[in-house]
Amino acid sequence: MRPSMVREACRQSLADLKVDYVDLYLIHLPTSLIPEFPWPLRNQNIKWNEYYDDVDYLDTWKEMEALCHEGCCKAIGLSNFSQRQVERIMQHSSLPVAAIQVECNPYLTRSGLLDFCKANKIAFVAHSPLGSPGDGHG
C-alpha cells in the first residue's frame, strides 16, 4: 500500500496478465503491512503488530486515481473497508468508489453497508457468501 509502490505493483500485474489495463483495481485492506511481511503465511501465531506499516490509505487511493487517469485501470475500489473509511475516501476523491468487496453472508449480513452502497451507487461485492472456514459458521 505504500504510495511509492502502487504504480509499479499495478504495472507488474498488467505485465503478468499480459493486458494493457484492468477493469477494476482494489485496495485490499485499509491497513498496511510492511513490504517484508512473510508471505505466504507459514506461522499462524504471527505477531501482526510487528508488521504494520504507517501508511494512510487515502494516499494510496490518490496514487490509484492517477493510474485511472493514465488508463491502467478503468475504475478503482476498496476491499474490507468500513462505511466510515469509504466515506473518508469519498470526501477526498476525484473519482467515484466503483466497488467495495467485503465478507457478507447469512451470519454477517452487512445490511447497513449494503444500503450505503446502494445510496451511493457503489457496487457491493460479497466474498465468503457461505461463511469463512474456521469462523464457526462455514
CA distance 25 to 98: 9
Measured distance CA(136)–CA(115) in Å, rounded? 26
Supply the pLDDT for residue 111: 93
One-letter amino acid for residue 130 of the chain: L
Strands 73-79 and 22-27: parallel
What are the tens digits of pLDDT across the range 10-62? 999 999 999 999 999 999 989 887 777 766 666 667 777 777 788 999 999 99
CATH at residue 117: 3.20.20.100
137 in a domain, yes or no? no
Cell of 46: 504471527
pTM: 0.84
Are 29 and 79 in contact, with CB atoms under 8 Å apart? Answer: yes
Note down the domain range covering 30.
Answer: 3-35+45-127
Instruction: Give, for 67, the enclosing helix (H) or strand (E).
Output: helix 57-70
With a cut of 50, say whether residue 135 has pLDDT above it.
yes
